[in-house]
Homo-oligomer: A and B are copies of this chain.
């Protein structure tokens, strides 16, 4: 039977680029993605998908049009579909994302940060 556990630390230790989520698990059409953040991402929104961000190590913030939410280790937030947001990490931060398999990293925006294919890790 093919049921193996995943160590988040071990997977994160192999990620060397920022803003490049890797697929660490898949279930019910949803994906568990691991991403290292540093710097500013782009303003974007996901029209049909809610997105969960969980901080595994470090801290970062998500800017919304009306407020900024800081997320520390062991904290998560669900950004509802249709809500514009912009992740900003002043220092390196390791996050776990939980979202549909179809979710594109830059949502409605297509620019140099857009990834059209995610790798597994």
Chain A interface (Cβ < 8 Å from any Cβ of B): 1, 3-9, 25-28, 30, 32, 49-52, 56, 64-67, 69, 71-72, 74-80, 83, 98-100
Q: Which 10 A-B pairs have the closest CB atoms?
A: A27-B50, A5-B77, A8-B74, A27-B78, A7-B75, A5-B75, A28-B50, A25-B78, A6-B76, A5-B69
Q: Do the beta carbons of A78 and B9 come within 8 Å of each other?
A: no
User: Given A98-B30, A98-B98, are A25 and B76 neighbors across the interface (CB < 8 Å)?
Assistant: yes
Q: Do the beta carbons of A66 and B1 come within 8 Å of each other?
A: yes
- Which B residues touch A100, using CB under 8 A? 28
What does DSSP make chain A's interface, helix, strand, loop or mixed?
strand
The docked-state distance in angstroms from the alpha carbon of A52 to that of B99 is 13
User: Given A32-B52, A52-B32, A98-B98, are A76 and B27 neighbors across the interface (CB < 8 Å)?
Assistant: no
Q: Do the beta carbons of A74 and B7 come within 8 Å of each other?
A: yes
